[in-house]
Amino acid sequence: MDLDEKDHFAGLAKAVADERDQTAFTALFDYFAPRLKSWLVKRSMKPDEAEELVQEVMTILWHRAHLYDPAQSSLSTWLFRIARNRRIDAQRRARHRNMEAYGPMLPVAETPGVDTLFERQERDERVRAALSQIPDEQMELVRAAFFLGQSHSEIASSTGLPLGTVKSRIRLAFERLRRALKDPPPEI
């Protein structure tokens, strides 16, 4: 998506927010609805479920277009993030319904043994130690990507770093983490 197209969509969203412009909304719907549906179907949603979710996302656009901030992200990113979050919510609800239906038949989970707990604790300590060795400028980007769920583009936008730098620093952080965790733990 080029800059003119991004500005065009931002302008249409502003028209929807400020004036309830149906023509602007129709243009946005016609452009984004098929793309959202295709993206959702590629993520293992059934076409009819994806279509329903797209309707929900576009309804959010109609009612909450005023919440979109073009300084934070492109309209495309905003809409796909809403779709992603709604898809995750739908999956959780479906999983919860399935668990309720079969809950009484599920076996009770066994309590892990002392050995298992000790191994988990050792592993957690090794991971924490390895994470502490990652330079701050890399760790900040790892936190944004994996704990805050930001895309590399969003991180680049919010930090002012070039996209390639963001990707390189995250990759370097993971290489450092992989090396630290690959080495055998020190003998006691």
Query: How does pLDDT run across 4-60, given as a tens digit for each residue?
Result: 777 899 999 999 999 999 999 999 999 999 999 999 999 888 999 999 999 999 999
pLDDT of 74: 92
pTM: 0.51
pLDDT of 120: 82
pLDDT of 187: 59
Query: How does pLDDT run across 51-84, given as a tens digit for each residue?
Result: 999 999 999 999 999 999 999 999 999 999 999 9
* Domain locations in the chain as residue ranges: 3-101, 114-182
Report the C-alpha gap between 168 and 164 in whole angstroms: 6
- DSSP code for 154: H
Between 100 and 93, name the one with better pLDDT: 93
CATH code for the domain defined by 114-182: 1.10.10.10
Tell me which fold the domain 3-101 belongs to.
Rna Polymerase Sigma Factor; Chain: A (1.10.1740)
In the block, tokens 């020190």 appear at 186
Sign of the Cα pseudo-torsion (56, 61, 66, 71, in order): positive
Q: How far apart are the first and last CA of the chain?
A: 56
